[in-house]
């Protein structure tokens, strides 16, 4: 049924780098002899996981070192200088969605007719897609690495499905145990600056699930929650 590649919900395994899909003629990328199929592995020593990473790590940089792996296995280290607003002219492979690890009672994927288009069967749970396209997540399988990324790269807004503010009900609806349904313990001070723009904010004010987050946030000197 699933024709699209998905990354398992709880894993740190990822393909290394991001693949270039297209290089615009006459662009900086073309001048650097980059080609479709090349993989950008890192920028200034920082690993690139997908095109969001590439955009974030190159934004505003006029001098940088970019590691590229050619399809032949050859490794290129490019020392690049560019004008401030100069674009690379590169398009990258699409982000492979992380898969949801819930079993919601009402999951729309279970209700799709068999003839529905394949993309409707993708059970994604991906903060990157939430930022890019407004996809909803439940944050029940978000990793610390992803949390850090949301904060560092300011991937906001994030669209979060709370489902229910009572933890027992939330766990029941999500089809998971309460420990995983309760995401309040995952929030740290770092989240103070991003939570304000999350769509769950209005729910958070009255939610038992989120109350601990607010308390921790208010205890922080970084807190700007009002
Ligand atoms: S979070 Fe629930 S509704 Fe959404 S894809 Fe996963 S199981 Fe389905």
Any domain includes 3: no
Q: How remote is the CA of residue 31 from the centroid of ligand 1, in Å?
A: 44
| 148 domain-assigned | yes
Ligand 1 mean position, distance from CA 107 (Å): 5
One domain, residues 131 and 86: no
Q: CA 126, 163, 222: angle at the middle one, nearest 5? A: 65
Bridge partners (DSSP) of residue 43 are: 46, 66
Supply the range of the domain harboring residue 25: 15-92
Cα of 129 from ligand 1 centre, angstroms = 14
Rounded to the nearest angstrom, the distance between the alpha carbon of 183 and the centre of ligand 1 is: 16
Ligand 1: residue whose CA is nearest its atom 5: 123
Do 165 and 78 share a domain, yes or no? no
CA distance 48 to 3: 26
Q: How far is the CA of 26 from the centre of ligand 1 (A)?
A: 44
Confidence label for 160 from pLDDT (cuts 50, 70 and 90): very high
The minimum-distance atom of ligand 1 relative to the CA of 174 is: 2
Q: Is the pTM above the cut of 0.85? A: no
CA 106 to ligand 1: nearest atom: 3
The predicted-structure confidence for 179-217, as pLDDT tens digits, reads as follows: 999 988 776 545 554 444 444 444 444 444 444 444 444
Domains in the chain: how many in total?
2
Q: What mean pLDDT, rounded, does the chain reach?
A: 82
Same domain, 77 and 42: yes
Taking the CA of residue 140 as reference, the ligand 1 atom at the shortest distance is 1
- Classify residue 1: in a domain, yes or no: no
Q: Is residue 88 part of a domain?
A: yes
Which residues are near ligand 1 (CB < 6 Å)? 100, 102-104, 107-109, 123, 138
Q: What is the pLDDT of residue 124?
A: 93
Domain boundary among 25, 60, 92: 92
Atom 2 in ligand 1: which residue has the minimum CA distance?
A: 104
Looking at 43, 61, 92, which one is the last position of a domain? 92
Task: Looking at the structure, tell me whether residues 117 and 179 fall in a common domain.
Answer: yes
User: How many A from CA of 160 to the centre of ligand 1?
Assistant: 12
Instruction: Note the pLDDT tens digit of each residue in 105-140.
Output: 999 898 999 999 998 999 999 999 999 999 999 999
State in Å: Cα 127 to ligand 1 middle: 14
Last residue of a domain, one of 35, 58, 92: 92
CATH number at residue 24: 2.30.42.10
Residue 214 maps to a domain: yes
Indicate if 62 and 121 belong to the same structural domain.
no
- Both 46 and 134 in one domain: the answer is no
Q: Which residue lies with its CA nearest to atom 8 of ligand 1?
A: 107
Q: Note whether 31 and 119 are same-domain residues.
A: no
Residues 183 and 117 in one domain: yes
**Phi/psi at 46 (nearest 5 deg)?**
-100, 130
147 and 183 housed in the same domain: yes
Q: Are residues 82 and 118 in the same domain?
A: no
Residue 103 pLDDT > 90:
yes
**Cβ neighbours of residue 102 under 8 Å, at least 6 residues apart?**
123, 125, 138, 140, 174, 175, 176
Are 165 and 120 members of one domain? yes
Angstrom distance (rounded) from CA 66 to CA 41: 8
Cα–Cα nearest to 58, from 108, 94, 105, 92: 92
Q: Which atom of ligand 1 is nearest to the CA of 100?
A: 6
103 part of a folded domain: no
pLDDT in tens, 169-189: 999 999 999 999 998 877 654
Residue 158, in any domain of the structure: yes
């Amino acid at each position: 049924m699933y024709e699209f590649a998905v990354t398992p919900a709880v894993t740190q395994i990822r393909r290394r780098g991001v693949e270039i899909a297209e290089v615009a003629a006459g662009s900086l990328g073309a001048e650097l002899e980059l080609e479709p199929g090349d993989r950008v592995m890192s920028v200034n020593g920082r690993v690139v996981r997908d095109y969001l990473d590439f955009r974030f790590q190159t934004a505003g940089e006029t001098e940088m070192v970019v590691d590229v792996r050619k399809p032949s296995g050859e490794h290129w280290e490019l020392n690049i200088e560019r004008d401030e607003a100069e674009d690379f002219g590169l398009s990258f492979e699409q982000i492979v969605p992380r898969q949801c690890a819930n079993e919601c009672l009402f999951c729309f994927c279970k209700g799709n007719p068999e003839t529905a288009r394949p993309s409707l069967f993708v059970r994604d749970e991906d903060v990157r897609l939430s930022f890019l396209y407004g996809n909803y997540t439940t944050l029940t399988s978000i990793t610390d690495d992803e949390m850090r990324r949301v904060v560092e790269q300011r991937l906001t807004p994030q669209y979060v499905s709370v489902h229910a503010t009572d933890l027992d009900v939330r766990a029941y609806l999500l089809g998971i145990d309460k420990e995983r349904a309760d995401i309040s313990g995952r929030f740290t001070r770092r989240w103070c600056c991003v939570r304000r723009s999350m769509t769950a904010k209005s729910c958070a004010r009255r939610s038992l699930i989120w109350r601990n987050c607010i308390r921790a946030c208010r205890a922080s000197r970084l807190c700007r929650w009002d």
